[in-house]
């Protein structure tokens, strides 16, 4: 099972100039949200966690659904986003999302 996406682009008859990066742009995105990351693969979890922290977000990392729910119970501040693995042992992503958002309706799920 999975998703297949096909993108059809028109063929160019003549070469084009390469796109130029606008180096004058100085805006930088700085995060300020609390994000609950649930990923059972430690290496993947660390990469996501570090990337979000580097952007300024607060990250609560968990290796599974039960751990994530326990972590969310002791975290007193709002959790703006749940990022969860699609396939996890023990608890489905749907069960995790439904349980978490029942007690924290402000939390978005990805």
What's the pTM value of the predicted model, to 2 decimals? 0.74
**17 falls within a domain:** no
Among candidate residues 55, 49, 110, 104, the one with its CA nearest the CA of residue 79: 104
Q: What distance in Å separates the CA atoms of residue 52 and residue 44, rounded to the nearest whole number?
A: 12
Give pLDDT tens digits for 2-13: 888 899 988 888
Which domain range does residue 103 map to? 34-109
Check which CATH number belongs to the domain holding 79 and give it: 3.40.50.2300
**5 falls within a domain:** no
Give pLDDT tens digits for 50-105: 999 999 999 999 999 999 999 999 999 999 999 998 888 889 999 999 999 999 99
- Beta bridge partners, 81, equal 35, 108
């Amino acid at each position: 099972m999975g998703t297949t996406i096909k993108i059809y682009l028109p063929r160019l008859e003549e070469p084009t100039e390469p796109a130029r990066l606008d180096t004058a742009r100085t805006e930088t995105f700085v995060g300020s949200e609390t994000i609950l990351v649930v990923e059972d693969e430690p290496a993947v979890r660390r990469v996501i966690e570090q990337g979000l922290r580097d952007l300024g977000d607060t990250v609560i990392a968990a290796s599974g659904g039960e751990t994530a729910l326990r972590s969310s119970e002791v975290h007193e501040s709002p959790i703006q986003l749940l990022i969860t693995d699609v396939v996890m042992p023990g608890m489905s992503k749907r069960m995790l999302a439904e349980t978490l958002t029942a007690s924290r309706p402000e939390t978005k799920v990805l």
